[in-house]
Amino acid sequence: MNPTIAMITFRAMLGRRRALLLFGLPLVLLAMAAALRFTDLADLDTTATILQRFGIATLLPLLALIAGTGVIGPEIDDGQIMYVLTKPIPRQVIVLTKLVVAIVLVTLFATVPTLVAGLLMSGMTAQLAPAFAAGVLVGGIAYSALFVALAVVSRNAVTIGLLYALVWESLLGNFAPGARSASVQQWALSVTDALTDASVVRSTVDLPLAAALLALVTAAGTALAVVRLRSLTVASAE
Protein backbone atom coordinates (compact mmCIF):
# COMPACT_ATOMS: atom_id res chain seq x y z
CA MET A 1 0.00 0.00 0.00
CA ASN A 2 1.26 3.41 -0.93
CA PRO A 3 -0.76 6.23 0.65
CA THR A 4 0.22 8.83 -1.95
CA ILE A 5 -0.92 6.69 -4.88
CA ALA A 6 -4.10 5.84 -2.98
CA MET A 7 -4.84 9.51 -2.36
CA ILE A 8 -4.20 10.52 -5.96
CA THR A 9 -6.42 7.70 -7.19
CA PHE A 10 -9.23 8.64 -4.81
CA ARG A 11 -9.02 12.22 -6.00
CA ALA A 12 -9.13 11.15 -9.65
CA MET A 13 -12.16 8.95 -9.03
CA LEU A 14 -14.15 11.33 -6.86
CA GLY A 15 -13.01 14.72 -8.10
CA ARG A 16 -15.45 17.23 -9.57
CA ARG A 17 -18.60 15.87 -11.15
CA ARG A 18 -17.37 12.27 -11.41
CA ALA A 19 -18.53 11.50 -7.89
CA LEU A 20 -22.08 12.33 -8.98
CA LEU A 21 -22.15 9.27 -11.21
CA LEU A 22 -20.97 7.08 -8.35
CA PHE A 23 -23.47 8.63 -5.93
CA GLY A 24 -26.35 8.52 -8.39
CA LEU A 25 -26.33 4.77 -8.96
CA PRO A 26 -26.88 3.60 -5.36
CA LEU A 27 -29.30 6.47 -4.82
CA VAL A 28 -31.79 4.85 -7.23
CA LEU A 29 -31.67 1.62 -5.20
CA LEU A 30 -32.13 3.49 -1.91
CA ALA A 31 -34.99 5.57 -3.31
CA MET A 32 -36.74 2.43 -4.51
CA ALA A 33 -36.25 0.72 -1.16
CA ALA A 34 -37.61 3.77 0.68
CA ALA A 35 -40.63 3.98 -1.62
CA LEU A 36 -41.46 0.31 -1.06
CA ARG A 37 -41.03 0.72 2.67
CA PHE A 38 -43.48 3.60 2.81
CA THR A 39 -46.07 1.86 0.63
CA ASP A 40 -45.76 -1.32 2.73
CA LEU A 41 -45.04 -3.47 -0.29
CA ALA A 42 -41.70 -4.68 0.99
CA ASP A 43 -42.17 -8.33 1.91
CA LEU A 44 -39.33 -10.83 1.93
CA ASP A 45 -39.85 -11.95 -1.67
CA THR A 46 -39.81 -8.41 -3.00
CA THR A 47 -36.73 -7.53 -0.99
CA ALA A 48 -34.87 -10.55 -2.29
CA THR A 49 -35.93 -9.83 -5.88
CA ILE A 50 -34.84 -6.20 -5.71
CA LEU A 51 -31.55 -6.88 -3.95
CA GLN A 52 -30.76 -9.61 -6.45
CA ARG A 53 -31.83 -7.85 -9.64
CA PHE A 54 -30.72 -4.39 -8.67
CA GLY A 55 -27.98 -5.00 -6.11
CA ILE A 56 -26.11 -8.01 -7.43
CA ALA A 57 -27.07 -7.98 -11.11
CA THR A 58 -26.94 -4.24 -11.88
CA LEU A 59 -25.25 -2.12 -9.23
CA LEU A 60 -22.40 -4.50 -8.43
CA PRO A 61 -21.03 -5.13 -11.96
CA LEU A 62 -21.61 -1.51 -12.98
CA LEU A 63 -19.79 0.01 -10.01
CA ALA A 64 -17.01 -2.58 -10.10
CA LEU A 65 -16.56 -1.79 -13.78
CA ILE A 66 -16.41 1.97 -13.17
CA ALA A 67 -14.12 1.64 -10.15
CA GLY A 68 -11.97 -1.25 -11.38
CA THR A 69 -11.16 0.21 -14.79
CA GLY A 70 -11.33 3.83 -13.59
CA VAL A 71 -8.51 3.53 -11.02
CA ILE A 72 -5.88 2.64 -13.61
CA GLY A 73 -7.31 2.76 -17.16
CA PRO A 74 -7.33 6.53 -17.82
CA GLU A 75 -3.80 6.92 -16.39
CA ILE A 76 -2.43 4.29 -18.75
CA ASP A 77 -4.31 5.84 -21.68
CA ASP A 78 -2.96 9.35 -21.28
CA GLY A 79 0.49 8.22 -20.22
CA GLN A 80 0.36 9.65 -16.69
CA ILE A 81 1.09 6.19 -15.30
CA MET A 82 4.73 6.80 -16.31
CA TYR A 83 5.15 9.29 -13.47
CA VAL A 84 4.23 6.53 -11.04
CA LEU A 85 6.10 3.72 -12.78
CA THR A 86 9.39 5.68 -12.88
CA LYS A 87 9.43 6.00 -9.09
CA PRO A 88 11.14 3.25 -7.07
CA ILE A 89 7.89 1.58 -6.08
CA PRO A 90 7.38 -2.14 -6.73
CA ARG A 91 4.74 -2.83 -9.36
CA GLN A 92 2.81 -5.14 -7.06
CA VAL A 93 2.49 -2.28 -4.57
CA ILE A 94 1.02 -0.06 -7.30
CA VAL A 95 -1.45 -2.72 -8.40
CA LEU A 96 -2.42 -3.61 -4.82
CA THR A 97 -2.98 0.05 -3.95
CA LYS A 98 -5.15 0.61 -7.01
CA LEU A 99 -7.07 -2.59 -6.25
CA VAL A 100 -7.66 -1.58 -2.65
CA VAL A 101 -8.97 1.82 -3.76
CA ALA A 102 -11.34 0.10 -6.21
CA ILE A 103 -12.56 -2.27 -3.51
CA VAL A 104 -13.11 0.59 -1.07
CA LEU A 105 -15.14 2.44 -3.71
CA VAL A 106 -17.25 -0.62 -4.51
CA THR A 107 -17.82 -1.21 -0.81
CA LEU A 108 -18.86 2.39 -0.23
CA PHE A 109 -21.13 2.70 -3.25
CA ALA A 110 -22.48 -0.84 -3.68
CA THR A 111 -22.14 -2.89 -0.48
CA VAL A 112 -23.25 -0.24 1.99
CA PRO A 113 -26.27 0.87 -0.10
CA THR A 114 -27.30 -2.78 -0.56
CA LEU A 115 -27.14 -3.30 3.20
CA VAL A 116 -29.09 -0.11 3.92
CA ALA A 117 -31.70 -0.88 1.27
CA GLY A 118 -32.13 -4.41 2.63
CA LEU A 119 -32.48 -3.15 6.20
CA LEU A 120 -34.96 -0.51 5.05
CA MET A 121 -37.16 -3.05 3.31
CA SER A 122 -37.14 -6.07 5.59
CA GLY A 123 -34.98 -5.33 8.64
CA MET A 124 -33.06 -8.32 9.91
CA THR A 125 -35.63 -10.90 8.76
CA ALA A 126 -33.89 -14.12 7.70
CA GLN A 127 -30.56 -12.24 7.75
CA LEU A 128 -31.39 -11.22 4.19
CA ALA A 129 -29.82 -7.75 4.22
CA PRO A 130 -26.44 -8.76 5.71
CA ALA A 131 -26.32 -11.85 3.52
CA PHE A 132 -26.77 -9.78 0.37
CA ALA A 133 -24.23 -7.23 1.60
CA ALA A 134 -21.72 -10.04 2.12
CA GLY A 135 -22.43 -11.36 -1.36
CA VAL A 136 -21.93 -7.94 -2.91
CA LEU A 137 -18.72 -7.47 -0.91
CA VAL A 138 -17.04 -10.71 -2.04
CA GLY A 139 -18.40 -10.28 -5.57
CA GLY A 140 -17.07 -6.72 -5.57
CA ILE A 141 -13.57 -7.85 -4.58
CA ALA A 142 -13.45 -10.47 -7.35
CA TYR A 143 -14.94 -8.12 -9.96
CA SER A 144 -12.49 -5.34 -8.99
CA ALA A 145 -9.47 -7.62 -9.40
CA LEU A 146 -10.85 -8.84 -12.72
CA PHE A 147 -11.47 -5.35 -14.09
CA VAL A 148 -8.17 -3.88 -12.84
CA ALA A 149 -6.37 -6.68 -14.69
CA LEU A 150 -8.51 -6.03 -17.77
CA ALA A 151 -7.69 -2.31 -17.64
CA VAL A 152 -3.95 -3.06 -17.59
CA VAL A 153 -4.19 -5.63 -20.37
CA SER A 154 -6.47 -3.87 -22.84
CA ARG A 155 -7.46 -0.39 -23.88
CA ASN A 156 -10.96 -1.59 -24.61
CA ALA A 157 -11.26 -2.72 -20.99
CA VAL A 158 -14.62 -1.06 -20.34
CA THR A 159 -16.25 -2.58 -23.42
CA ILE A 160 -14.82 -6.04 -22.79
CA GLY A 161 -15.96 -5.80 -19.18
CA LEU A 162 -19.43 -4.82 -20.35
CA LEU A 163 -19.55 -7.69 -22.82
CA TYR A 164 -18.62 -10.06 -20.01
CA ALA A 165 -20.97 -8.61 -17.39
CA LEU A 166 -23.98 -8.12 -19.67
CA VAL A 167 -23.72 -10.56 -22.56
CA TRP A 168 -21.95 -13.44 -20.90
CA GLU A 169 -23.55 -13.34 -17.45
CA SER A 170 -27.06 -12.20 -18.35
CA LEU A 171 -27.82 -13.03 -21.97
CA LEU A 172 -25.93 -16.30 -22.37
CA GLY A 173 -26.85 -17.32 -18.85
CA ASN A 174 -30.47 -17.53 -19.96
CA PHE A 175 -29.71 -19.92 -22.82
CA ALA A 176 -26.76 -21.93 -21.55
CA PRO A 177 -26.81 -22.88 -17.86
CA GLY A 178 -23.13 -23.78 -18.07
CA ALA A 179 -22.25 -20.17 -18.86
CA ARG A 180 -24.32 -19.08 -15.91
CA SER A 181 -22.27 -21.11 -13.46
CA ALA A 182 -19.06 -19.52 -14.72
CA SER A 183 -19.92 -16.03 -13.54
CA VAL A 184 -18.84 -13.89 -10.61
CA GLN A 185 -22.49 -12.95 -10.11
CA GLN A 186 -23.54 -16.53 -9.40
CA TRP A 187 -20.63 -17.09 -7.03
CA ALA A 188 -21.55 -13.96 -5.09
CA LEU A 189 -25.15 -15.16 -5.02
CA SER A 190 -23.96 -18.49 -3.67
CA VAL A 191 -22.34 -16.74 -0.70
CA THR A 192 -25.60 -14.89 -0.09
CA ASP A 193 -27.53 -18.13 -0.40
CA ALA A 194 -25.39 -19.76 2.29
CA LEU A 195 -25.82 -16.90 4.74
CA THR A 196 -29.60 -16.46 4.60
CA ASP A 197 -32.44 -18.78 5.63
CA ALA A 198 -34.77 -17.31 3.01
CA SER A 199 -35.59 -19.88 0.35
CA VAL A 200 -36.10 -17.28 -2.39
CA VAL A 201 -32.38 -16.88 -2.98
CA ARG A 202 -31.04 -19.74 -5.04
CA SER A 203 -27.68 -20.14 -6.69
CA THR A 204 -26.56 -22.72 -9.23
CA VAL A 205 -23.11 -23.06 -7.67
CA ASP A 206 -22.25 -24.73 -4.33
CA LEU A 207 -20.60 -22.58 -1.68
CA PRO A 208 -17.17 -24.30 -1.40
CA LEU A 209 -16.73 -24.21 -5.17
CA ALA A 210 -17.93 -20.60 -5.35
CA ALA A 211 -15.58 -19.47 -2.58
CA ALA A 212 -12.65 -21.22 -4.21
CA LEU A 213 -13.45 -19.70 -7.60
CA LEU A 214 -13.86 -16.22 -6.13
CA ALA A 215 -10.46 -16.49 -4.41
CA LEU A 216 -8.93 -17.88 -7.59
CA VAL A 217 -10.29 -15.07 -9.81
CA THR A 218 -9.14 -12.42 -7.33
CA ALA A 219 -5.63 -13.85 -7.06
CA ALA A 220 -5.31 -14.49 -10.79
CA GLY A 221 -6.55 -11.02 -11.67
CA THR A 222 -4.10 -9.35 -9.30
CA ALA A 223 -1.20 -11.48 -10.50
CA LEU A 224 -2.01 -10.82 -14.15
CA ALA A 225 -2.21 -7.08 -13.51
CA VAL A 226 1.20 -7.11 -11.78
CA VAL A 227 2.84 -9.13 -14.56
CA ARG A 228 1.41 -6.99 -17.33
CA LEU A 229 2.27 -3.75 -15.52
CA ARG A 230 5.91 -4.92 -15.32
CA SER A 231 6.22 -4.85 -19.11
CA LEU A 232 3.78 -2.09 -19.98
CA THR A 233 4.37 -0.27 -23.23
CA VAL A 234 2.81 3.16 -23.22
CA ALA A 235 1.64 4.18 -26.66
CA SER A 236 0.88 7.79 -27.41
CA ALA A 237 -2.64 8.91 -26.65
CA GLU A 238 -4.89 8.76 -29.67
Partner 1 sequence: MTVSTIHDIGYRHYEGRRLGRGYVLRSLFVHNLRAAYGLGRPARAKVMPFLLLAVMMLPSVGSVAAVAITKEPRGLIPYAAYANILQVVIAIFLATQAPVLASRELRFHVVPLYFSRPVGHLDFVLAKLAAMTTALLALLTLPVTLLYVGGLVTKVPDSGEHLVRYLTALVGCALFAVVLASIGLVVSAFTPRRGFGVAAVIAVYMLSSAFVVIVQGLAEMRTNFTLAGWVGLLTPFNLVDIVQVRLLGAPRSSAAMPEGTLAGMVALAVCAALVAGSTAVLYARFRKAGLS
Cα–Cα distance between 194 and 131 in angstroms, integer?
8
Q: Which of these segments, 70-78, 84-92, 197-205, 223-231, binds partner 1 (CB under 8 A)?
A: 70-78
State yes or no: residue 135 binds partner 1 (CB under 8 A).
no
Kindly tell me which of 92 and 170 has the beta carbon lying closer to partner 1: 170
State the distance between the two ends of the chain, measured CA to CA, in whole angstroms. 31
* Helix/strand/coil for 185: helix
Q: Which of these segments, 68-76, 99-107, 131-139, 176-184, binds partner 1 (CB under 8 A)?
A: 68-76
Contact 26, 110 (CB under 8 A): yes
User: Which of 80, 127, 170, 204 is in the footprint of partner 1 by CB under 8 A?
Assistant: 170
Cβ atoms within 10 Å of 108's Cβ, excluding its own: 16
User: Which of 2, 9, 25, 100 is in the footprint of partner 1 by CB under 8 A?
Assistant: 25
State yes or no: residue 78 binds partner 1 (CB under 8 A).
yes
- How open is the CA angle 189-125-122, to the nearest 5 degrees? 85
From the centroid of its chain, how far is CA 107? Answer: 8
* Binding-site ranges for partner 1 (CB under 8 A): 17-18, 21, 24-25, 28, 32, 36, 41, 46, 49-50, 53-54, 57-58, 62, 65-66, 69-70, 73-74, 77-78, 155-159, 162-163, 166-167, 170-171, 238
